[in-house]
Amino acid sequence: MSEEFYFMDGNYVPSSEAKIPVRCHAFLYGTSVFEGIRGYWNEEEKQLYVFRAKEHIERMFNSSKIMFMDAKYTLDEYLDIIKTLIKKNEYKENCYIRPEVYKSSLKIGPGLYDCDDSVLIFTIKLGNYFKGDEPLKVCVSNWNRLPDNTIPPRAKISGAYANTALMITEAKKSGFDDAISISADGKVAEGSAMNFFLVEGNSLVTTPSTSNILVGVTRNTIMELAKEELKMEVVEREINRTELYIADEAFFCGTGAQIAPIGSIDHRPFGDGKIGKKTLEIQKLYDDVVRGKVEKYKKWCMPIY
């Protein structure tokens, strides 16, 4: 297939025709909310499953509400559009689906009032976000995660990703793979664009939804799988910086990152620096669940074909 389709303003258009004007409010002021959703190709079934699309769209409705945006379509309509778009793009491999609700008026001034909303959805073929098999070398970022009453991390707002951009750039330029974000009070928030878990014995520890995090769909998935399938205890609590250095294992999780094992934080390795045992178990289970290979959790996988 030569050119892919994007969904824009109610139509499926060739990607080269999907254009946004220079004076679009979202471009000038970062006023769009979005989701990142993954589709996984199951080779045995010759089926593409989109993972927890419903939960992503519901989160986008919440982001839209916070930002005075009208997301235009119902949940079922979004799911239908995603199915149609992937079918039109004829994907038979892993992919990424990116819906955006954005302020589209050519208005000067950042106010969210008197400003039209538009919806676009694009898809791309996508492999792994983190390359390589080695666990990640991670630092604690010098940049703080934004608190809820600045640009709320609970909403997935494009403008807020300037914060993530500074973190990841600083980390990479300093020779790390990624960064952990800390709030102004010194407490751990999450990764740069992922949630974060520590493993302590048979417990999984993660920061609560009030710790200036995006409350991740993958995070919720891991919490349920760990409790139900791996019989682990899951604890949501504040995490101090020095706890990062003495836990048994740590990993990031997110739609993009999937389950990304961490080998060291601020030059302090976990164990022998290899992927931790619990992390590996969680990673394997997650990889099967997202591909619709675990019957009990097929309810989370939306078939496309």
Ligand X SMILES: Cc1ncc(COP(=O)(O)O)c(C=O)c1O
Q: What positions carry a catalytic annotation?
A: 156
β-strands 268-269, 11-14 pairing: unpaired
How many Cα atoms occupy the beta-carbon half-sphere of 210 within 13 Å?
3
Residue 290 in contact with ligand X, rule: CB under 6 A? no
We find the least distance from the C-beta atom of residue 305 to ligand X, in angstroms, to be 24
Q: Which of 255, 258, 264, 283 binds ligand X (CB under 6 A)?
A: 255
Q: Which of 39, 99, 135, 216 binds ligand X (CB under 6 A)?
A: 216
Residue 190 in contact with ligand X, rule: CB under 6 A? yes
Distances (CA, A) of 91 to 14, 120, 147: 15, 19, 39
Q: Which of 104, 195, 206, 211 binds ligand X (CB under 6 A)?
A: 195
- 190 vs 179: CA distance, rounded Å: 9
Cβ proximity to ligand X: between 115 and 282 the closer is 282
Stretch touching ligand X by CB under 6 A, among 20-28, 80-88, 212-220, 236-244: 212-220
DSSP state letter for 160: G
Residue 260 in contact with ligand X, rule: CB under 6 A? no
- 153 vs 155: CA distance, rounded Å: 5
Q: Which of 141, 218, 258, 283 binds ligand X (CB under 6 A)?
A: 218
Closest CA to 159 of 207, 112, 215: 112
Looking up tokens 């993958």 gives: 218
Residue 254 in contact with ligand X, rule: CB under 6 A? yes
Binding site for ligand X (CB under 6 A): 36, 190, 193-195, 214, 216-219, 254-256
